[in-house]
Homo-oligomer: A and B are copies of this chain.
């Protein structure tokens, strides 16, 4: 993912939510060093003792950390030093894991942490892409991450309403495979009958909302959403620019027209919610989404497609684009499932402490790995966050 970048690109933090590329690279190795090597690998020597401070994100239990919003003020360690750090940790991890075959009990104990570390790194791979996209956006030169040809226009599948009957459903992760603690425990939820849109909302549909004055009509918005519209002067999704009456948007492939048939992207929850209200519909709850998705295979425009951009819905599957393209804002605030217990120790800070004033997103995006996403996966962001690949699918009562 870093291959198209130059050294200077690794350094910049374009807003507090964004981390510099080199920080992502170092932090993911720090995770393995801190939660595995430093604890379990006898005789391990840290690469640099200051890195424990510099590259801890938010794990209070493992010590002090550098101020998040100042990550872009660090010219050192250099990019090359960070790569050296990664090689150091990777080499130790490999050797140590190999040696562990002699110690099955320890192997058993640390396996979940290794797996968590890998999923953690996948999350930061997605953030690396969303963050560098923002770094290029704030630059008046508008650099492209990787020039790509403009896709040819498609006829998007028409939107249909898919029916789901009422019922008591089991929600949450089941079985032995990996999941985050926030997907557990599996539990029952009663879901009224509902309808779900057969595909994501498109740029073309969203442009109608804009043209109809959606950003000027307070009645369509949540109260604090309307305050955000006014304070931040939102008039379109993040990365959109109007030029000569046409909407362009900044993509990882450069600035180009916002194609009508592509899923709309880089919306806040507030915008997704307002659009749904304007459309006479609403956002699905996360339970509805999970019920609808339960039996679908994990396939779609995920990071493996290397498009790095959402693509139009094609074909006539009843429910298209459930995985990949854009994360789907749900109407559900991010709360613990009944009986939720955070993981033990510092790792317990991974999810639980953020269960407040955030909304759940489902389904992964064009920057998510196929081996990372699943039907029970709960992503979460504050309702004003816009720099993720986030869009929406409509729902309504039936």
Q: What residues of chain A have their CB less than 8 Å away from a CB belonging to chain B?
A: 6-14, 50, 53-54, 58, 60-61, 66, 70, 72-79, 135-136, 138-141, 143, 168, 187-190, 192, 218-219, 221-226, 285, 331-333, 335-336, 338-339, 349, 353-357, 383, 397
Cβ contact of A333, chosen from B60, B76, B79, B333, cutoff 8 A: B333
Residue pair B335, A14 in contact (C-beta under 8 Å): no
Inter-chain CA distance A8–B219, complex, in Å, is 36
Query: Roughly how many angstroms separate A332 CA and B223 CA in the complex, as a whole number?
Result: 19
A-B contact pairs, 10 of them (CB 8 A): A7-B8, A8-B8, A12-B75, A53-B140, A72-B72, A189-B190, A192-B338, A221-B353, A331-B335, A357-B383
Most chain B CB neighbours (cut-off 10 Å) among A70, A74, A136, A356: A356
Knowing A168-B168, A222-B353 touch, does A73 contact B188 (C-beta < 8 A)?
no
Instruction: Establish whether residues B335 and A8, one from each chain, have CB atoms under 8 Å apart when the complex forms.
Output: no
Q: Which residues of B contact A355 (CB under 8 A)?
A: 222
Knowing A72-B72, A141-B77, A192-B187, the reply to whether A223 touches B331 (Cβ < 8 A) is no
**B190 A168 Cβ-Cβ under 8 A:** yes
Instruction: Select from chain B the residue with minimum beta-carbon distance to A355.
Output: B222
Complex formed: what's the CA distance from A354 to B146 in Å?
42
Determine whether the beta carbon of A223 is less than 8 Å from that of B339.
Answer: no
Q: How far is the CA of A385 from the CA of B78 in the complex (A)?
A: 29
Shortest A286–chain B CB gap in Å is 11
Set of chain B residues within 8 Å of A218, measured between Cβ atoms: 60
Given contacts A8-B11, A60-B219, A140 and B75 within 8 Å (CB-CB): no
With most chain B CB atoms within 10 A of its CB, the pick from A13, A73, A188, A332 is A73
Query: How many angstroms between the C-alpha atoms of A38 and B140 in the bound complex?
Result: 21
Are A383 and B356 in contact, with the CB atoms below 8 A?
Answer: yes
User: Of residues A54, A332, A335, which shows the largest number of chain B Cβ atoms within 10 Å of its Cβ?
Assistant: A335
A140 CA to B51 CA, complexed, in Å: 10
Residues on B with C-beta less than 8 A from A14 are: 73
Closest approach, in angstroms, between the C-beta of A194 and any C-beta of chain B?
Answer: 8
B70 adjacent to A222 (CB under 8 Å): no
Q: Are A50 and B140 in contact, CB atoms less than 8 angstroms apart?
A: yes
A232 CB, nearest partner CB in chain B, Å: 16
Instruction: Give A191 Cβ to nearest chain B Cβ, in Å.
Output: 8
Inside 8 A of A61's CB, which chain B residues have their CB? 219
The distance in angstroms between the C-alpha atoms of A351 and B145, with both chains bound, is 41
Are B141 and A8 interface neighbours, CB within 8 A?
no
Among A13, A53, A74, A75, residue most surrounded by chain B Cβ atoms (within 10 Å): A75
Q: B354 near A50 (CB under 8 angstroms)?
A: no
Contact assessment for B357 and A76 in the assembled complex, using a CB-CB cutoff below 8 Å: no
Q: Which residues of B contact A349 (CB under 8 A)?
A: 219
Q: Complex Cα distance A349/B338, Å?
A: 31
Q: Do A8 and B75 form a contact, CB below 8 Å, given A140-B66, A338-B192, A397-B338?
A: yes
- Nearest B residue to A189, CB-CB: B190
